[in-house]
Amino acid sequence: MRRDRTLSLADAVALVEDGSLVYFGGNVLRRKPMAFARALAASARSGLEVMAFTGSLEVELLVAAGVASVVSSTYVGLGRLGFAPVFRRAVEAGVVEDREYSEWTMLLGLRAAAMGLPFLPSRGGSGSQILEHLAIREVEDPYGGDRYLAVPPIRPDVAVIHAWRATASGEVQMAWPPEHLWDVDVVAAQAAKTCVVTVEQIVDRRVVAAQPHLTVLCGVDVDAVVEAPGGAWPTASPPRWEEDHRVILRYGASGDPDCLTEADR
């Protein structure tokens, strides 16, 4: 019998403990797990390291709420719609540590954890300040003698991603064509100790079986499935809707997290 992995949003947020490393999926203003971020921001958590390959509004909410002490990312901003005002002010004031990664160092760190390896070799980032910042060491190729960066594993305590739909047992589907950077979220889900997926809809297994090419995660990869219709708003949630530019532009101009509440929908 397949295991039922459905949880309420509150119970899923309860999986995050103080001081946890929490990875948030999505790409800038697309597929951000905003419902989870709002609930986590309203919790009494503290000392979190928030990680996002490309962060945006979820980082803003968590920094504004004071639950994040470290933000690890390759980029935090609103893309073509502007800067991330709360994150920028917090870093300038020294309230939050900005732990910057290159794209390859973050991806390879997550991949190393997913593969159960102590490191993965890379040339990406060689000669940059990121190496000193992240204390990444070098190794010698035992075959050719070249030097490579030894990127250590990144194992989030909890990874949270938002997707189109899933079964109660954790078969997760995203819309076609694939979103940019969707595969990074899959690697992060497999690397994390606990994976939470919020979805627009929980569906019967027959729906998923009818379009198997849309499945990106299986039940073995997922610990909790949360049905959260509109859970990515105001970021895009393919194939349901695109970004809510009106709300995002208003937020960028004001820097007021109240702009991102459900009441503004």
> 33-54 pLDDT, tens per residue?
999 999 999 998 999 999 999 9
Burial 203-214 (b: 16+ CB within 10 A, else e): beeeebeeeeeb
Q: Which helix H or strand E contains 201, and what residues bound it?
A: strand 194-202
Q: Pick from 16, 21, 60, 26: which is nearest to 186 by CA?
A: 26
- Asked whether the predicted pLDDT for residue 265 surpasses 70, the reply is no
Tens digit of pLDDT for each residue in 142-174? 999 999 999 999 999 999 999 999 999 999 999
- Asked whether the predicted pLDDT for residue 2 surpasses 90, the reply is no
Q: pTM for the full model? A: 0.95
**231: confidence class by pLDDT, cuts 50, 70, 90:** very high
User: Under a CB-based contact definition with an 8 Å cutoff, are residues 241 and 265 in contact?
Assistant: no
The domain at 9-102+155-264 falls in which architecture? 3-Layer(aba) Sandwich (3.40)
Alpha-helical runs (H) found in 192-239 = 205-210
- Mean pLDDT of all residues in 118-132: 82
- Mean pLDDT of all residues in 99-122: 95
Domain with CATH 3.40.1080.10 in the chain: 9-102+155-264
State whether the Cα torsion 128-130-110-117 is positive or negative: positive
**88: confidence class by pLDDT, cuts 50, 70, 90:** very high
Question: How many residues make up the chain in this entry?
Answer: 265
**How far is it, in rounded angstroms, from Cα 79 to Cα 76?**
8
Mean pLDDT check: name the lowest of 54-63, 109-118, 249-258. Answer: 249-258
- Asked whether the predicted pLDDT for residue 125 surpasses 90, the reply is no
Q: What is the pLDDT of residue 37?
A: 98
